[in-house]
Structure formats: C-alpha cells, structure tokens
C-alpha cells in the first residue's frame, strides 16, 4: 500500500494540529448543525457563545512519515537495546549517527519554517484597526477583534476578518454599482480586490444590505441587531444568511445577505473613502482561515516504487540477520568456546542468544540508505528551481514566469499518461470577439468579414428594425458589466465574463451603447438618444441553469421585460408555443461547426401582477438559509418560459499560439488527451480537430455517445464499444465524444463499460460537463492507476486540478485561482510541452539514478561487512571504524550523486524533436525491480572484488585491522567515483570537480584524521599512501570491478542498443536522425485475456444488445473478423493494457 504512509502522515499531522490549536465551534454551542446567531454591536451577549478570537495562528508542526519504510528501519535500529549489544559490539552508537544527523536536518528545517510563521502571525495579529465598542471608536490590535464588533476601514486598509458591510462612502468620480439578486432598490457599494482569495485580479463590488440603506453615518455605530449565518466554511462564493436590525432602524424585518454583502479577510478596500462592517467570522474561522487546510499528500510513482524496493530490502535484511544470527550462535557454541583467546563465558545472561542477531541487525541497518530522503528532497527542490528559472517558459506578453508550487512531484511529469484539459482560456486565448449573429432568421457575417462590418446589419440598425434593435438591447442590458468613464470621457467596461464584455462592446459599435449605471438605473445610448431602464432583478447564471436573465422596467413606458441569454438547450426549449425555432437551431449548429461559441437571446413582456407575485417568491427564496441556491433556481424557472427567441450570437475565441503543435508532439510521446469543456458538442469537436486532438478522416474516427435516458445512453455505449472492438486492430485514431447528460448516466449506471471505453480510445471529447464531472473523470482514470495531469485556468477547473496526480494552472484572464490551486503554473498552454518532455523527463531520469545509486553504495559497504563476518567467526564484528561509517554516507558519497542533478542523457533539442522516447519514462524503464536487481547485483559483485583484493593484499602482510579497513574503504570510494563517471552522460566542470574532487577530499580528510593521536587512525593513511602496494591494490580493484561493467555496457550499446542509445551516438557523432521508427514497444504487463465486455443493466431494464453484453455463460457470442471472439479484446494500442489493472467499478 504505497499510499498508506502518506495518509498516515496526514492523519498524524491533523492530530498534532488539533492538539496545538483547540478552538470552540459556535455551532457546537448553539446546538444547530447548520447556522448560528450572533448579535451585532452587543459584545457581552456574544461572549457567552464563546466565539473564536481573531488571533491568527498557523501551527505547521509535522511528523514526517515520507519514505516510511526507511524511517521504520531507522526507528527499529535506534530502538535496539544497544546497552546490551555494546558490550560486544564496537561503538554501537555509530550506527545512529547518520539517522540523528538526518533527523536534526529535518527538525532544523521545520523549526525555521515555524519561526517564520510565528513572525508572520505576530505581524498580522498586532496590526492596528478601528472598532466601535460601547458606542465609542477605539484603536485596537487585530487579534482583539470579537464577533459582533463593528470594524471601521479606510481606503487601502486590509480587511482583518470577515465582515458584513453596513455602510460606506464612495470616492467621487469612481462609482461602481451592483444590484442584489432579490430585487430591492439600488444602494451604495464598496470595491475590493479578491486576488488573495480567488486569484482574480479585477475589483469586486460589495453591497450594503438593503436594511442599512439610508442610515445616517453618525448612527452607524449605534446599530444593533442579529445575524443568522452558516457555521464557518471555506466556500468564498456563498454566504446564505439573514440579518434583522432592532428598532428604530428596522422593525425586525428579515434582510437577506449574500457573499456580495461581505468583506472577506485579506482583501483590501479600494476606491472607497471608508467602510464599516460587523465581524461575523474571526481567527481561523474566516473563509481564508478555513481554506488553510492540510492538503492531501501526492505520492509519485517513483516514491511508490522506492517504498516497495525499501520494503523488499528490509525483508532481505531481516532474513540475513536471522540466518547469520543462527550461524553465529552455532559457531559460538561449537567452535568459539574451544578457542582460549575468544574467552566466551561458560554461562551467559538470559539474552545471550539475541546478542549476535542484534549485532548483525546493527551491521545490516546501513542496507537502507538514511541519506536518501535528504538527497531526494534537495534534488527535488532543485528540479522546481529549474522550472522557475527556465527563460524559455516565460509568457512575454504578461511577463509571467512558470512556477513550481509543489517541489515533490517533478518526476511524475515524465510519467504522465493522460492529460485532461479545459478549453476556454486553456487552449484558447479567452479573448472573445463578436463574429456573427442570426436575428429573426437572417444571418449576418461570413467568411469575408464579421457581423460588425456586415452592410445588411448596419442598414437594419439604421432603419430601426424592431427585432434587431431588441436584439442589441439584450446584448447591452442582460449582463453584470460595469461601465467606467475615464477623465477623457471614454467608456471602458469591467466584466467578470469575457462573453458579456464582447457582447456589450459589439452592441456599442452598433450604436447601442451602455453608458452609465447608477444603482439600479441603466442608461443606454442609441443614435444619440438616451433610454433609461430600471433593473428590478438579476437571475444570475449558474452551471445548472446555463442561462442568465434580468428583469427590467422601461422608465418611460413603465413596461416590465424579462431579458435572457444562454445556451441553446437552456433557451430554445422554452420558446412560446408556435414559434419556429428550427432556423435558430440550424444557426447554432452552423456556428458550432466553425468552432464559435454560441448564445441564444430571448425576451418576453411581463404583466405587473405576474411580476409582483413572482418577486415575492423570489425574495422569500433568497431569505432561506437551507438550500437557498436550489430554491432560487426553482423560482427562476417559474419566470423563464414562453420566450420570444430573437436570435443567436456567435463569439470567437481564438486558439493560443502553439497549441496544435504542442498537442501533436505530446500525443507522439504516447500521452492521451481528454478535452473537458462546457461548450456545445459541435463547437468542442471543431476545436478538437483544430488542436490535433484527433486526426481528420479517414485516419481519424469520432464515435458519439448521446442520450437523455438510461436506455438511450446504454444503446449508444454498446454501439460505440462494438465499433471500437471492430476498429481496434486497424491503425486508426479513434476518439469518443460524450455530453454532460450522457456522461452523468454512464458514470452512475454503466461505469465499468465507460471505463473500458476510456482505456480503448486515445482521445475523449467531453462537452457540456460540470466542474464536478471533470473531477469525477480524473478520479475514474486514477482508479485505473494511470498518471493523470489536469490543466485549466479558471475557478471551475480547481477541483479537477486538485484531484489529478499533477495539477497545472494557467495564469489567464480568469484570474489566478487555478494557478494557485495547482502544483505548477504556466503562462501559456504551449509551455506544457517543455514542462513534460524536458523538465519531467530529466527529473525522472535523475531521480531514478540517484535513488538506485543510493541503495547501491549502502549495499556495497554492508555486503563487505557481511563477508568480513565469515572470517571473524560470524560474530558480527565491524570491519570499519565509527568515523568512517558515519562519514561514508554523509560526506564521501553524497556530493557526486547530488551533482547528477545536472546530468542530461540527451540534449533538450533532441528530446523535443523525438518525443517518442518519453515512453521509457512512462513505462518506468529506468526504475523498476529489474533495474534495481542490476544495481543490487553490481553492489554484490563490487563488494566481493573489494573484500577479496583488500584481504589478500594486506591481511597476510602483518597489517593491522585498521589498515585493512582503510584499504577496503578506499576501494569503495574509488569504485564509486568510476561508477558515477560511467553513469554520467554529459560532463560539466562542476561534475568533474564533484567526482574527482570528492576523491581528493577523501584523502585530505583521512590525512587530517590520521594526524590526530586520539582518533584511533593515527598515522594509518600516511603509512598506506607511502606503500606502492596500496596504489596497486586500488588499480586492481578498479580494473576488476569496472571491467565486467564496461564489457556489459559495450555489449548492450553494440548489440542491444535502445532508441535512446541511438540518439546518444548520433549526438556524439553529429549526424542527424531522420526517423526512429515505431519506438513504442508492447504495453507493460499486457495480458491477452481481458475481462469480458459488459454493461450492467438496472433491474427490470432490457436492452436490444443484451445477448451480446450479458455476463451469463449462456449469452450469445458473435465474432467480427476471423478468429475474433467477442468477449476478448486484442488491443494493439498501449491504452488497452491498463484495463488489466483492476479498474474499480462503483
């Protein structure tokens, strides 16, 4: 269970955090599971509820359980009864030295981080703020704010806790207004940037609740009332609450509150002279504080493999200890007691039989390298810095550099198998341009020009065509855009939706200009005349409703209108009876085939009585605390019907530069792509074709999965799976297309069949999907043990990004929310190619070498100790002294391997030109049990060479044991220097210094130690270096140890060279490689007998394909092609292999 230790680490850390920071939840006191009440400006009453204070603490104490088997072995060894063993073992505490150094390094790192957090907490807690207490304004520290206090802010002040806005003063010349969704009169607002919360850099408008409208500024400090709000949560987009002010301000009428009435912690007050609000959440219970949870740890495939290998070595270590322990006790009882100089007592203590096994446990404890955790952390940090420093991954337009927020998973970039990508803003520029439209059946704009330059449309506007004018009015009014007039008189538009901004700008170019917004009053300029509308209600867009509406009243005629825009499936079915919508549906399809985004525009006139009845229900729905969003949507649906469809607007969102080339390159690397978008099916397909997701016909083939019912989806899935079975043996590029409705049914009822389909196709196009469905698809692929990468740019991509093994966020026009939630952030999609092929591949190669070399050097010294025990009576005596053993892993062998972080087996240019070689990383060819067995065998062979030559050269020349020990240690250092040099692919001056300079440093250190009379090695190195036999021995060890390795490497390069070897030789010779052919070998662990294809039917439901798809042994079998039984796939693609990996089926 490779993920067990990561989960254990998370749970332990949460427990520690809970012990260090105990807080009382108001919900637990009030006894309500959903909400609690707080009194405004009545502090004493709130004190009885024991709300959390505003002191800010972030205890980050962490118990490290990463590389858990390594830590297990260390703890096991350190907990041995060393007082028992030390009577017979030489300085047994020497084995604990490296582990203690390692632990001290980790503790120092955590202590330094905690100290920096303490300084940050102290600075935030001691910031001074103004509050109102007992009717008097006081200056206090932020940590002393309590729930119910009224806090006063000035322009550019940081909000110290979560507040409900009570009053504000807007600076003249920059007034931004926004309407509440429940349709009361206009009211004042404040502007705040929320980048610290959601990464969006645009200013957000915050509103004063209607209950506080008209209250004099001098009376604000006397406001008293009660706020009923949810228990603290981290959802920064919801605050479904109510407020009641006590007389004389408001006679206990309920005033609904939403997130637009709040000022959240860490935001700043902009364009506002002052603002005041009541504190509702403080301390770690603010929205920001609740968001500071402990993230789920991500375990890379390399770390999982290292855990498995460590576990195997640990088992081998225990076996060796048991075998040698038994052999040692047998020799002691049969032979040792006969030797007078051994002096074993005739009767020993009760634990005598444990002494020798415990000695061997201490000797063998170095089989598992303690330094590997520190080494991996260090090199992984350097991998992240290489990404940050890469000048080829800088977006010149925005001057945005790539950034690695997670330093622990760089190797996974080189093992990515699936990329799930958003479309808008990720593949496209998210710069919306109004291109074409269809109004009342007439099409405007064509391939020669857009609709804004179409003469027919311009003439229709000039002639005052009723439908065209009404169409433009909806474009200008049905939105949440803010017009801002500059000092020069020019008008610019601030919008959170790029679609809305494109429509408003297009309407302005067609002389229907949105010029001013004063509260709920909109001024529309048309042909130099001003038309004024009052916005009564806004029915906001949601991903479920897929439309947005506004209720407006013509200030001149007094008529009330409902204006709507949205997706075709959300507008067209709600047309009034008798209206022909076929033309509009055809327009939607035509524009979608051009890759354009489409919006349908509609309207209807409302009767005053109908509106008043509906408005009361709408206000009531907005006042509910439970399921407010669902109740509001239900009430909205009661009004949005019987539309008169006016037309269709088509908006272009151009592809980013380099997107098709990037996708084509990564697909050549064997990576599969899934595009997840909320756009229409045809639009998604056209974008997919433009991006090279799938090849054009006849090589490419698209298979559609559609349906609104379970039967329809079942039949569609069956047809697609049958087609996939037939075409599986053909060299075709097959992709399937599924919409959100069919996807929901497939994941719920036919998950196994959908999973089977997913692993048989290289590409999937999922349209009209919701953010939750995106995350479900990531989880589906992860359940089949694929390495997934999710990339997006908006807030709706955050769940998908966090769910994936690797999350990549694009710093786009929708803000930085996705980038901040991701493991890596980049400026443009095209940088993903270099991130994976260069940084990911290099990181995997380097980590694979470093981890296996770390085991090699530890096994080498351990095997020598074991061999020495055979000539020392199997007594567990150590050949090496304590200083040498401690310095071996910490100093002598660490520097050369760390410098391997600069090694490159191929140049970056070659890697980018031949992406197929990424397969060797995806398949784990450089780190697996087979390669580890090679390093294990090398360490065993080198240990034999060092031990035999050292013993035969010095053991019979009346040399001291210390001299033999130093000769053996010197042989190890020499061998390892040549091993690192042999495995290094590209030498730099730093690598030469590290390898050969480390060898020189070994002698310098030992000369210094040998000069110390108290060291136990006095004059040993001086005597050895004077003897020619010592240097001859070193030459013999290197020759005997490296000769067979060089011969094996030559044989492999000459007769069994891989594609990488061919490229390396071509680079050295300077010749071009025109083609590598089909570099992709057979799928890993591909089994011929896969599970039968089946779709699980709900009870009582029959399928026309049931005989084909039944799991019953009596089911009919059909063959397609010669010798092709239906219930067994014979995939030629690597994709099908993962279905053998025990896909989980809900």
Chain-centre distance of CA 50, in angstroms? 37
Q: Does 812 count as an annotated binding residue?
A: no
Q: Does 13 count as an annotated binding residue?
A: no
In whole angstroms, how far apart are CA 336 and each of 133, 329, 330, 333? 87, 9, 9, 6
Q: Does 422 count as an annotated binding residue?
A: yes
SS (H, E, C) 503-533: HHHHHHHCCEEEEEEECCEEEEEECCEEEEE
SS (H, E, C) 1012-1045: CHHHCCCCHHHHHHHCHHHHHHHHHHHHHHHHHH
Rounded Cα–Cα distance for residues 245 and 250 (Å): 5
User: Is 422 a catalytic site residue?
Assistant: yes
Rounded Cα–Cα distance for residues 964 and 953 (Å): 9
Residue holding tokens 């799938």?
Answer: 694
DSSP string across 25-66: -HHHHHT-SSEEEEEET-HHHHHTTTPPPS-----------T
Helix or strand or coil: residue 21?
Answer: coil
CB 131 within 8 A of CB 137: yes
130-135 own/partner pairs: CB under 8 Å, 24+ apart: 132/41, 132/221, 132/276, 133/43, 135/221, 135/222
CB 1109 within 8 A of CB 1055: no
CB 439 within 8 A of CB 467: yes
Strand 35-40 relative to strand 733-739, pairing: unpaired
Helix or strand or coil: residue 458?
Answer: helix
Rounded Cα–Cα distance for residues 1066 and 267 (Å): 57
In whole angstroms, how far apart are CA 985 and each of 52, 909, 1055, 1065? 59, 16, 20, 11
CB 452 within 8 A of CB 650: no
| Rg of the chain in Å (alpha carbons) | 36
Q: Does 565 count as an annotated binding residue?
A: yes
Residue holding tokens 């399937």?
Answer: 736
Rounded Cα–Cα distance for residues 944 and 952 (Å): 12
Q: Does 7 count as an annotated binding residue?
A: no
Asked if residue 698 has a cis previous peptide bond (ω within 30° of 0), the answer is yes
- The 10 Å Cβ neighbour count of residue 76 is 14
Q: Does 500 count as an annotated binding residue?
A: yes
List of residues 6+ apart from 457 with CB closer than 8 A: 437, 439, 444, 445, 451, 468, 510
**Nearest Cα residue to 444 out of 468, 410, 463:** 468
Rounded Cα–Cα distance for residues 431 and 497 (Å): 10
CB 532 within 8 A of CB 522: yes
Rounded Cα–Cα distance for residues 590 and 683 (Å): 9
Q: Does 797 count as an annotated binding residue?
A: yes
Q: Does 1089 count as an annotated binding residue?
A: no
In whole angstroms, how far apart are CA 277 and each of 66, 127, 164, 179, 289? 45, 18, 5, 19, 19
479-485 own/partner pairs: CB under 8 Å, 24+ apart: 479/503, 479/504, 479/548, 479/550, 480/178, 480/538, 480/540, 481/514, 482/176, 482/177, 482/178, 482/205, 482/517, 483/514, 483/515, 483/516, 483/517, 484/174, 484/176, 485/515, 485/516
Two tokens, residue 3: 């993920």
Rounded Cα–Cα distance for residues 591 and 426 (Å): 21
Q: Pick the catalytic residue from 162, 307, 422, 568.
A: 422
Beta bridge partners of 151: 131, 277
Strand order in the sheet with 241-245: 35-40, 225-230, 241-245, 255-257
Rounded Cα–Cα distance for residues 1123 and 405 (Å): 53
Rounded Cα–Cα distance for residues 563 and 503 (Å): 14
Q: Does 1134 count as an annotated binding residue?
A: no
Which uninterrupted H or E stretch holds 668?
helix 659-668
Q: Does 679 count as an annotated binding residue?
A: yes
Q: Does 559 count as an annotated binding residue?
A: no
Q: Does 1061 count as an annotated binding residue?
A: no
Q: Does 424 count as an annotated binding residue?
A: yes
**From the annotation, which residues make up the binding site for ATP?**
422-424, 500, 541, 565, 597, 677-679, 768, 774, 796-797
Residues with active-site annotation: 422
**From the annotation, which residues make up the binding site for Mg(2+)?**
422, 424, 793, 797
**From the annotation, which residues make up the binding site?**
422-424, 500, 541, 565, 597, 677-679, 768, 774, 793, 796-797
């Amino acid at each position: 269970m490779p993920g067990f230790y990561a989960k254990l680490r998370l749970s332990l850390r949460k427990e520690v955090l809970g012990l260090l920071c105990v807080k009382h939840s108001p919900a637990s006191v009030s006894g309500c599971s959903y909400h609690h009440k707080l009194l405004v400006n009545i502090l004493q009453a709130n004190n009885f509820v024991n709300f959390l204070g505003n002191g800010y603490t972030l205890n980050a104490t962490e118990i490290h359980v990463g590389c858990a088997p390594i830590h297990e072995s260390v703890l096991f060894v350190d907990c041995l009864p060393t007082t028992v063993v030390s009577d017979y073992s030489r300085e047994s505490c020497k084995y604990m030295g490296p582990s203690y150094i390692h632990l001290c390094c980790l503790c120092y790192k955590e202590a330094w981080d905690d100290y920096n957090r303490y300084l940050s907490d102290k600075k935030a807690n001691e910031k001074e703020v103004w509050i109102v207490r007992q009717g008097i304004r006081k200056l206090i520290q932020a940590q002393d704010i309590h729930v119910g206090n009224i806090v006063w802010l000035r322009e550019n002040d940081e909000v110290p806790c979560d507040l409900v806005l009570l009053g504000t003063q807007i600076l003249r010349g920059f007034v931004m207004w926004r309407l509440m969704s429940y349709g009361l009169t206009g009211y004042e607002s404040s502007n705040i940037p929320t980048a610290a919360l959601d990464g969006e850099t645009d200013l957000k408008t915050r509103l004063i609740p209607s209950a506080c409208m008209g209250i004099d500024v001098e009376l604000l400090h006397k406001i008293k009332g009660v706020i009923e709000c949810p228990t603290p949560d981290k959802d920064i987009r919801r605050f479904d609450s109510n407020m009641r002010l006590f007389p004389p301000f408001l006679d206990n009428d309920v005033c609904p509150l939403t997130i637009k009435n709040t000022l959240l912690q860490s935001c700043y007050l902009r364009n506002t002279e002052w603002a005041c609000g009541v504190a509702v959440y403080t301390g770690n219970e603010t929205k920001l504080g609740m968001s500071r949870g402990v993230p789920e740890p991500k375990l890379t495939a390399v770390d999982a493999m290292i855990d498995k290998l460590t576990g195997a070595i640990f088992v081998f270590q225990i076996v060796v200890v048991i075998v040698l322990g038994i052999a040692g006790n047998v020799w002691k009882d049969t032979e040792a007691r006969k030797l007078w100089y051994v002096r074993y007592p005739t009767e020993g203590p009760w634990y005598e039989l444990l002494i020798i096994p415990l000695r061997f446990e201490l000797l063998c404890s170095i089989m598992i390298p303690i330094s590997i955790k520190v080494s991996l952390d260090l090199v992984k940090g350097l991998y992240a810095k290489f990404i940050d420093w890469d000048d080829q991954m800088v977006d010149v337009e925005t001057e945005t550099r790539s950034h690695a927020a997670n330093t622990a998973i760089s190797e996974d970039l080189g093992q990515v198998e699936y990329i799930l990508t958003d479309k808008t803003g990720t593949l496209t520029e998210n710069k919306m341009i109004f291109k074409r439209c269809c109004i009342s059946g007439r099409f405007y704009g064509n391939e020669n020009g857009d609709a804004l330059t179409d003469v027919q449309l311009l003439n229709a506007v000039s002639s005052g065509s009723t439908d065209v004018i009404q169409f433009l009015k909806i474009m200008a009014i049905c939105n949440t855009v803010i017009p801002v007039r500059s000092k020069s008189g020019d008008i610019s538009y601030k919008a959170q939706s790029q679609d809305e901004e494109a429509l408003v700008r297009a309407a302005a170019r067609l002389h229907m200009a949105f010029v001013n917004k004063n509260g709920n009053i909109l001024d529309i300029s048309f042909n130099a005349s001003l038309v004024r509308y009052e916005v009564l209600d806004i029915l906001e867009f949601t991903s479920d409703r897929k439309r947005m509406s506004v209720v407006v009243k013509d200030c001149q005629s007094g008529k009330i209108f409902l204006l709507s825009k949205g997706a075709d499936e959300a507008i067209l079915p709600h047309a009034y009876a008798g209206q022909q919508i076929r033309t509009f549906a055809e327009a939607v399809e035509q524009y979608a085939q051009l890759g354009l985004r489409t919006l349908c525009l509609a309207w209807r006139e409302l009767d005053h009585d109908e509106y008043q009845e509906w408005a009361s229900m709408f206000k009531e729905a907005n006042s509910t605390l439970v399921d407010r969003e669902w109740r509001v949507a239900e009430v909205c649906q009661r009004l949005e019907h019987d539309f008169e469809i006016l037309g269709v607007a088509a908006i272009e969102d151009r592809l980013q530069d380099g997107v098709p080339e990037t996708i084509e390159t990564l697909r050549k690397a064997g990576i599969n792509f899934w595009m997840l978008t909320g756009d229409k099916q045809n639009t998604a397909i056209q974008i997919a074709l433009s991006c090279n997701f799938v090849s054009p016909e006849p090589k490419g083939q698209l298979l559609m999965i559609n349906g609104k019912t379970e039967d329809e989806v079942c039949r569609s899935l069956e047809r697609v799976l049958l087609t996939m079975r037939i075409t599986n043996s053909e060299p075709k590029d097959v992709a399937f297309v599924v919409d959100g409705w069919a996807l929901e049914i497939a994941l719920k009822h036919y998950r196994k069949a959908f999973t089977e389909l997913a692993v048989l196709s290289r590409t999937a196009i999922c349209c009209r999907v919701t953010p939750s469905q995106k995350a479900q698809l990531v989880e589906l692929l992860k359940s089949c043990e694929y390495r997934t990468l999710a990339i997006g740019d908006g807030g709706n991509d955050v769940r998908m990004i966090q769910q994936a093994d690797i999350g990549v966020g694009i710093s786009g026009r929708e803000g930085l929310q996705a980038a901040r939630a991701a493991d890596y952030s980049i400026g443009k999609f095209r940088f993903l190619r270099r991130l994976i092929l260069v940084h990911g591949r290099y990181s995997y190669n380097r980590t694979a070498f470093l981890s296996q070399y770390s085991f090699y050097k530890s096994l080498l010294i351990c095997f020598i100790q074991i061999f020495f025990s055979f000539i020392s009576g199997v007594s567990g005596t150590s050949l090496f002294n304590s200083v040498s053993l401690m310095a071996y892993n910490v100093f002598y062998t660490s520097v050369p391997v760390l410098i391997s972080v600069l090694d490159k087996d191929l140049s970056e240019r070659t890697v980018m030109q031949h992406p197929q070689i990424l397969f060797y990383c995806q398949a784990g060819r450089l780190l697996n049990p087979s390669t580890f067995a090679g390093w294990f065998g090398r360490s065993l062979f080198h240990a034999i060479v060092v031990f035999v030559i050292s013993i035969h050269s010095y053991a019979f020349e009346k040399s001291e044991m210390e001299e033999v020990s130093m000769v053996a240690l010197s042989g190890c250092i020499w061998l390892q220097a040549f091993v690192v040099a042999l495995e290094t692919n590209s030498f730099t001056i730093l690598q030469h210094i590290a390898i050969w300079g480390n060898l020189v440093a070994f002698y310098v250190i030992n000369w210094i130690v040998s000069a110390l009379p108290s060291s136990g090695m006095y004059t040993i190195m001086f005597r050895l270096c004077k003897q020619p036999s010592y240097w001859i021995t070193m030459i013999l060890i290197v020759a005997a140890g490296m000769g067979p390795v060089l011969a094996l490497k030559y044989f492999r390069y000459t007769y069994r060279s891989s594609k990488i070897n061919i490229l390396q030789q071509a680079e050295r010779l300077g010749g071009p490689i025109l083609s590598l052919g089909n570099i992709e070998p057979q799928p890993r662990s591909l089994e011929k007998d896969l599970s039968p294809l089946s779709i699980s039917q709900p009870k009582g439901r029959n399928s026309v394909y049931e005989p084909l798809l039944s799991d019953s042994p009596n089911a009919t079998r059909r063959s397609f092609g010669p010798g092709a039984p239906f219930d067994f796939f014979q995939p030629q693609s690597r994709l099908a292999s993962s279905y053998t990996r025990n896909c989980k089926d809900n």
